[in-house]
Amino acid sequence: MTSPALVPHIADVVAVTDCLIDWGPHQMPIDGRSHNRGRLLFKGEDGLPEAGLWRSTPGSWRLILPADELCYFVSGRARYTADDGEVVEAGPGTLAHFKEGWRGRVEVFEDILVTYMLTAGGPRAATPVVRDPAGLALDDWGAAQTLDGRAAGTRGLVISREADGRAESGLWECDAARRAVTFPREEFVHILAGSAVYTQEDGAALTLPAGSIAFFPAGWTGICETRAVTRKIYMNR
């Protein structure tokens, strides 16, 4: 059984921005001004997956992604210009799934604060981008199986997924419900609205309010209670 203490999480990503760790300058600077700070939630022994919170000051650098990276821009403004001409304008509320092998230039115009996960994925011609994921209408994913038998609907949207299921990202929403849950794969979540309480058989509980992020290990099992409509960004592998 995995203790909630072993589920890395940050309850309020905005509140911790003044106490992030210095990650130094970018590896391939163009103008040399940008500086990184952040906090890791999880990093695998071979470097992947990696999930956490990242902040960068204005400036520009060249970026070559060795893996898929899901980025949710909490604040700030940036532009990602790929070598093939694709342009992704990122501002508050932008959710982008940059695919493995993405190459180009990043320009930050205002300090960006980003929650992210990196994992092995695959190439794609265009970058999947969602604007305003908190307000986007989602597809009906059917009724949730609740512990008390009450009706609760779920909705969602898959943003990107490899043919073998790797690097799946998307949005998921559930009405108020109390459900038995198991995470079959490692999963990063960012709660956009509502809140979720994850409780194990030993009674230990982890509360994730709106604005929080967490990284669940594969095999985590317990009860999830959403006391209002709750929406999250997710990525698993």
Both tokens of 19, joined, read: 């106490």
CA proximity to 78, closest of 106, 37, 102, 116: 106
Average pLDDT of adjacent 10-residue blocks, the chain of 237 residues: 71 95 96 96 96 98 98 98 98 98 98 98 97 98 96 98 97 98 97 96 92 96 96 98
Residue with tokens 């940036």: 78
Which stretch of DSSP H or E encloses residue 15?
none
Are domains 13-131 and 139-236 of this chain identical in fold?
Answer: yes
Please report how many Cα atoms fall inside a 13 Å half-sphere around the Cα of residue 84, on the Cβ side.
Answer: 10
Q: Is the dihedral of CA 90, 92, 96, 100 positive or negative?
A: positive
**Stated pTM of the model:** 0.96
Q: Residue 21 corresponds to which tokens in the numbers above?
A: 């760790």
What is the structure's pLDDT at 6?
74
What is the predicted pLDDT for the residue at 63?
98
CATH number for 139-236 (one of 2.40.30.10, 3.30.70.20, 3.20.20.210, 2.60.120.10): it is 2.60.120.10
User: Which two three-digit tokens encode residue 172?
Assistant: 């998921």
Q: Taking the domains of the chain in order of start, what are their residue ranges?
A: 13-131, 139-236
Q: Phi and psi at residue 117, in whole multiples of 5°?
A: -145, 135
What is the Cβ-side half-sphere exposure of residue 7, based on CA atoms within 13 angstroms?
30
Residues 6+ apart with CB under 8 A from 179: 144, 145, 146, 147, 152, 223, 224, 225
The verdict on domain 13-131 having CATH code 2.20.25.240 is no
| Two structure tokens written together for 227 | 């006391």
Of 114, 108, 117, 98, residue with least CA distance to 20: 114
pLDDT at 201: 79
Would the CA dihedral through 66, 72, 78, 81 be positive or negative? Answer: positive
